[in-house]
Amino acid sequence: EAQLLESGGGLVQPGGSLRLSCAASGFSFRTYAMAWVRQAPGKGLEWVSSIISNDRTYYADSVKGRFIISRDTSKNTAHLQMNSLRAEDTALYYCAKDRLRGGGDGAFESWGQGTLVTVSS
């Protein structure tokens, strides 16, 4: 069974940076697409970014140019580097595993418990 454990959240000032990590276990990490999905307090789900086969990456318009998704297959860990943070980036950030190997299809069958990012002065 896939397990995902996020870390790296915290309080950061506007304009600051933060790096989130997602430690994966229970599946062949290198063969699955991975994603980050966030949820602002009291709000719905918002897809942030995905990394698929060949490390091709995709981003929501709201984070494009500021966030970078990556993965370290030697450590079974995905990362989200968040730069130029804004108040509207405040949210619980979930790591999610695609249901399909390779390029995936964008449906997320496994989720971590999330790590909270608060952007405030």
Exactly one of 110, 115, 117, 119 binds other proteins (CB under 8 A); which one?
A: 110
Residues in 46-75 that interact with other proteins by CB under 8 A:
46-47, 50, 58-61
Q: Which is nearer to other proteins, 50 or 77 (CB)?
A: 50
- Rounded to whole angstroms, the Cα distance separating 18 from 84 reads 9
Q: 83: exposed, middle or buried (C-beta count within 10 Å: 0-12, 13-18, 19+)?
A: middle
Question: Which range of residues in 15-23, 68-76, 81-89, 98-106 is near other proteins by CB under 8 A?
Answer: 98-106
Cα torsion at 95, 99, 100, 106 (round to 10°)? -60
Residues that bind other proteins (CB under 8 A): 35, 37, 44-47, 50, 58-61, 94, 99, 105-114
